[in-house]
């Protein structure tokens, strides 16, 4: 016991945090092994009018991909680290932020 903080390994919260931390570390380590892209065959990408080409934007940064542009004031999804690459992004000059109306693309300050 250190002060009033119990950091005993039998503590349930400690075990949960340890498992989550180990899970994140393992998923990051195995998500993109070294030389992974050597075995990936990338298809040619042609983006639609409301999309933007992102060089090496796919999983493990192997292939180019298209992302749908989300315009200022439109709703934008949260981004989860370690998840799939985003399929959309806010237009240039805006950022996805929490607002009173939910997550929206908001104009950046100059």
| Tens digit of each residue's pLDDT (9 = 90 or more) over 12-38 | 766 676 666 655 554 454 578 889 999
State the Cα–Cα distance between residues 77 and 90, nearest whole angstrom. Answer: 10
pTM of the model: 0.63
As a whole-number percent, the residues of the chain with pLDDT over 70 amount to 74
Environment class of residue 93 by beta-carbon count within 10 Å: exposed (0-12), middle (13-18) or buried (19+)?
exposed
Which residues, at least 6 apart from 93, have a Cβ–Cβ distance to it below 8 Å? 72, 107, 108
- Of 109, 80, 104, nearest to 90 (Cα)? 104
């Amino acid at each position: 016991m250190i002060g009033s903080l119990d950091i005993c390994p039998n503590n349930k919260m400690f075990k949960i945090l340890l498992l989550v931390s180990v899970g994140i570390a393992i998923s990051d380590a195995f998500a993109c092994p070294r030389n992974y892209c050597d075995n990936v065959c990338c298809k040619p990408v042609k983006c639609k009018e409301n999309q933007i080409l992102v060089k090496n934007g796919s999983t493990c940064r192997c292939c180019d991909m298209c992302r749908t542009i989300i315009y200022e004031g439109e709703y934008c999804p949260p981004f989860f680290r370690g998840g799939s690459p985003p399929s959309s992004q806010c237009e240039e000059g805006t950022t996805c932020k929490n607002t009173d109306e939910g997550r929206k693309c908001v104009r950046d300050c100059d």
